[in-house]
Structure 1
Amino acid sequence: MRAKRTAGRNAGPEEEPGDLGRRVQNLRNERGLTQRQLAEPACTPAYISTPEAGRVRPPEAAVRHLAERLGVTYEELATGRPARLATALRLELVEAQRTLATGAAEDAAAAYLRLLAETDRDGLEEERATALLGLGHCALETGDLPAAREHFEAAEGLLADAPLPRRAPAVRGRAVAHLLAGELRYACYLLESAIDELNTSGLQDPGALLLLYTAAIAPYMDMGAHARAAQAGELALALAPRVSDPELVAGLHRSVARTLIAAGRTAEADASLAKAAEIYQQLQIRTELAHCHWMRGYVRAQDGDLSGAESELCAARDMLASKRASLYTAQVEVELADVLRRRGETTRAQELLHRLLGELHPDRGSVHAGGAHRLLGLIHEDRGELESAEEHYVTALSLLERAGAAGDLADICRLLGDLLRRVGRTEAAMDAYRTGLGHRASPGTTTLGPSPVRPPTA
């Protein structure tokens, strides 16, 4: 989708100089003013006659003077749209965002589509970009990753001339869509490029930086770049006191919990998730609250509390499934299958994983699809079905290599090497171990450049 550009920042989609001139003339006549009276004291009567004749569009300062003299807003005179139109649309966009926050992604998408058509008709570029961002987030919720990328790219195109802090949400949305599709390197590239541009251009907007640093943690973790993830979390935490948006701060706490889990600091991770959950509960953002349950389930599993883990993961799954967030639901169920396997309920786990593999594929959750095959390999190996186990490990290896998930790749290589060694295929086992050691030795080096510039203010 290519964004339609307009002739001027506030002009309508087909605006011509004569359109503005007719509005000036009609409003002047309605108010019983002569050209001289309208012009005074800033302009000459001739300066008024020129735009009224439609020969040239006056500069912004002149339009603002005319609007003041005519008793209308600058936007109304410049575009021909009543000022209340943009205000009403903004209120409806806020309501659509509220609908999405409660988890009703399909209802929110319908509202955003209607508002998108209205913004296109009326030439409201800022509001159109907001509607496209909303549609992108709706598509992420429902798992339609190609549509999500298209909407975020269109929003970024509309905002091409805006400062980078204004474009940061679109960049972050694109990165998340690529992350969920298993394109970890490109997700990091998008985020790192934007962070570097913000830090080196003097546009060190705390909210935009916090948004981008927080988003970078997930792909860093999946790539095994735990040091980079921890650094991004530290920089984001340093920015948090300067950010007033509670949703941004909650997202920070939720993301930082991943770095704490990886460092074995599960008690701190649980406390961080509790902070995030409290904020999401207050804001009634159900989808993000479900993600907190999801991660708390993982923490419980790491601590060996499998019953508590199952309870948290089931709560997350039920919340996401009720809102038809299919991709996130499937990802949670992969974690749930691991807990069931560890509790000895291998039949339930296997049935769940086979169903999930119909929903997860290389272009839609490759990291979690790799995780599902890994679990199936473990189940078959425990049963002595070594040939089937090897097939699942090899499939997982292929999926994770494509995504660049270095940490998980090292683990799969170890499992495959152990299996091959058990059946006497020593040379093949050595190859698997070497491959795993290569991924373990250089985690995170598959990003497309050096780590982001550290912001001077942090």
Structure 2
Amino acid sequence: MDEPVAIGRRVARLRAERGLTQRALAEPSYTPAYISTLEAGKVRPSEAALRFLAGRLGTTYEELSTGRPPHLATELRLRLTDAQRTLATGDASEAAGLYREVLDDAERLGLDPERAEALLGLGECALEAGDLAAATAHFEAAEQHLADEPPPRKARAVRGRAVAHLLAGELRYACYLLETAIDELTAGGLADPEALVLLYTAVISPYTDMGAHARAVHAAETALALAPQVHDPALVAGMHRQVARTFLASGRVAEADASLAKAQSVYRQLQLRTDLAHCHWMRGYVHSQNGDLASAEAELRTARDMLAARRAALYTAQVEVELADVLRRLGRGPEAAELLSGLLDLGDSHGAVHAAGAHRLLGLMAEERGDTEAAERHYVQALALLERSGAGGDLADLCRLLGDLFRRTGRTEAALDAYRTGLGHRAAPGTTTLGPAPAGVPGVVGGGGGGPARAAGGSPS
């Protein structure tokens, strides 16, 4: 709100333009003396007074309190919609340019809601481009602008930050962010269904990768129970895509594929290309786990081509690890090795988890051809890359592979050390290292468990 003098001058000008006396403007809720004092800038009007006066003057509260014409915010929201459409169907860098223009104008005009939306959009663009530091910064800035808003309004910013940390391999911190937000929503009695589905859907992936399968199943069941109250089709589709992971972990392959088919249909209808690529990716993973390697290769190649066309570097790398595993199982080792060799440099960046997946597969391929020295080297490099990630299942699996290698080559003590290390990394079923699980949503029952399902280099997120 502007200073009282500026507001008073604005009220006086609009009153004069409309040919109203101070008495005509004031009645029946206020006195002519109050209007006189207000126009002189000697009193700061309340929000209720300004809304009353705006109605009498035929303008808006926003224009009366700030001097900004009401159409400015509307124009910015239309431009935000254009940027969102560009991100969904076009190029992330082009969408980022549109979001930056909106952000600059929103900051200049002091329009905080539009500023927060632009920051969230920039965060999504940075995620797709693989710039995780920029994504985190944008989501944190959006949270700061939304600090005084109710918890449901902050859910997208929290989810974005958590995904950035997940892609950086920081699984435990991603869980912490999402669990804290869920607890804040439920404890405050603000159990907004869309916000909760967004958060529960996002936490399935880190739970699964950490080996906390009972928690992943509980999150999936809670999201499914809340879904009928959600009106955003893209959000429901994203939920089905993640719920498919818990079905697969429980050996319910047909149900996993049915969930992905639902999501794929929505994404195709809405032309959400990155999300559609993720569906192809996950369906490839389902086919791979079910032993249908030809179908898995076709789906993964489609996903890789779609993501590469959108220059989504980190997501493309994840798909290439999955595709290389399928090629290895098809007996096309040299083709798989060539694909993996381009991923090893990711170990110096936020792609360390994917580089670890590449080293793991190269180690398996080295063992298959009898080169135990090369296999050990790749396994050790993969372990070093994964140490800080908290990916309990992947770390335990690598320790098992390394222990088996040591045992076969007669190094019993080294094998025992590797197995003990793997046991230390393995999370207890249904738990994280973060304390109690998030509080349940009143009236929603979730639970159950399932066995693990792991991909060569991190399952689709």
TM-score past 0.5 threshold: yes
Q: Which amino acid aligns with 1:116?
A: L
Q: Distance in 2 between matches of 1:448 and 1:103?
A: 39
Q: Report which stretch shifted further, 109-118 or 339-348.
A: 339-348
Alignment root-mean-square deviation, CA: 1.4
1:82 is matched with which residue: 69, 81, 93?
69
Q: Is the 8 A contact 2:321 2:340 kept in 1?
A: yes
Q: What displacement does 1:362 show?
A: 5.9
Q: Is the 8 A contact 1:103 1:285 kept in 2?
A: no
CA deviations 1:29-58 (Å, max 9, x no partner) are 212223222222211222122232223320
Note the 1:259-298 alignment, pairs <5 A: 259-298=246-285
Q: Is the 8 A contact 1:362 1:399 kept in 2?
A: no
Q: Is the 8 A contact 1:188 1:447 kept in 2?
A: no
Q: Is the 8 A contact 2:130 2:314 kept in 1?
A: yes
Q: Distance in 2 between matches of 1:150 and 1:174?
A: 9
Q: Are residues 376 and 285 of structure 1, via their aligned partners in 2, closer, same or farther at CA, if it must alter by over 3 Å?
A: same
Q: Which residue of 1 aligns with 2:442?
A: 456
Is 2:405 aligned against 1:400?
Answer: no
2:351 is matched with which residue: 365, 375, 379?
365
Paired residue total = 444
- SS of corresponding position for 1:402: coil
Q: Which residue of 2 aligns with 1:130?
A: 117
Q: Distance in 1 between matches of 2:276 and 2:175?
A: 25
Q: Which amino acid aligns with 2:440?
A: R
2:105 is matched with which residue: 108, 114, 118?
118
Gap runs ≥5 in structure 2: 445-461
Q: Is the 8 A contact 1:76 1:83 kept in 2?
A: yes
Q: Is the 8 A contact 1:175 1:186 kept in 2?
A: yes
Q: Is the 8 A contact 1:182 1:363 kept in 2?
A: no
Q: Distance in 2 between matches of 1:86 and 1:19?
A: 21
Q: Is the 8 A contact 2:7 2:39 kept in 1?
A: yes
Is 2:366 aligned against 1:380?
Answer: yes
Note the 1:253-264 alignment, pairs <5 A: 253-264=240-251
CA deviations 1:299-349 (Å, max 9, x no partner) are 111111111111000000111111111111111111111111111111121
Q: Report which stretch shifted further, 171-180 or 36-45.
A: 36-45
Is 2:413 aligned against 1:427?
Answer: yes
Q: Is the 8 A contact 2:120 2:142 kept in 1?
A: yes
Q: What displacement does 1:114 show?
A: 0.4
Is 2:218 aligned against 1:231?
Answer: yes
Q: Distance in 1 between matches of 2:29 and 2:185?
A: 40
Q: Is the 8 A contact 2:212 2:427 kept in 1?
A: no
Q: What displacement does 1:446 show?
A: 4.0
Q: What displacement does 1:149 show?
A: 0.5
Q: Which amino acid aligns with 2:443?
A: T
With the length of structure 2 as denominator, give the TM-score of the two structures.
Answer: 0.94
Is 2:326 aligned against 1:339?
Answer: yes
CA deviations 1:410-455 (Å, max 9, x no partner) are 1111100011112211101011112223333625644422111111
CA deviations 1:146-180 (Å, max 9, x no partner) are 00001001111101011101110111001001100
Q: Report which stretch shifted further, 35-44 or 80-89.
A: 35-44
Q: Distance in 1 between matches of 2:202 and 2:430?
A: 16
Which gives a bigger RCO, structure 1 or 2 (Cα 8 Å, sep 6+)?
A: 2
Note the 1:84-103 alignment, pairs <5 A: 84-103=71-90
Q: Which amino acid aligns with 1:279?
A: V
Q: Which residue of 1 aligns with 2:230?
A: 243
Q: Is the 8 A contact 1:182 1:403 kept in 2?
A: yes
Is 2:217 aligned against 1:212?
Answer: no
Q: Distance in 2 between matches of 1:181 and 1:49?
A: 60
Q: Which residue of 2 aligns with 1:416?
A: 402
Is 2:35 aligned against 1:64?
Answer: no
Q: Is the 8 A contact 2:280 2:299 kept in 1?
A: yes
Q: Is the 8 A contact 2:8 2:38 kept in 1?
A: yes
Q: Are residues 142 and 441 of structure 1, via their aligned partners in 2, closer, same or farther at CA, if it must alter by over 3 Å?
A: closer
Q: Distance in 2 between matches of 1:90 and 1:447?
A: 42
Q: Is the 8 A contact 1:297 1:308 kept in 2?
A: yes
With the length of structure 1 as denominator, give the TM-score of the two structures.
Answer: 0.94
% of aligned pairs identical?
A: 71
Q: Distance in 2 between matches of 1:260 and 1:103?
A: 32
Q: Which residue of 1 aligns with 2:447?
A: none
Gap runs ≥5 in structure 1: 1-10
- SS of corresponding position for 1:361: helix
Q: Which residue of 1 aligns with 2:454?
A: none
Q: What displacement does 1:354 show?
A: 1.4
